[in-house]
Amino acid sequence: LGMLAAGVAHEINNPLTWLMGRLESLEHKLDTGEVHREEVKSLVHGALEGATRVARITRDLYDFARAPEED
């Protein structure tokens, strides 16, 4: 079960990392004034919060997979 959880976490984490990088780049562009739409910035920030939550779940799955087995 632990190996399964690690595999699932790995599969989720790869595209999630990509998504977060792009959202952070877009947020930076918004911060530097390249785009002036406060509503878009708010939506991007919310997306980052959601992505961060999924990343936390992924870390929890990894922790579960590495937990020592009890006899």
5-37 pLDDT, tens digit per residue, is 788 888 788 888 888 888 888 888 878 887 767
Q: What is the mean pLDDT of residues 61-70?
A: 77
CA distance 5 to 9: 6
Q: Which two tokens stand for residue 62?
A: 């990894």
Check if the beta carbon of residue 12 is closer than 8 Å to that of residue 54: yes
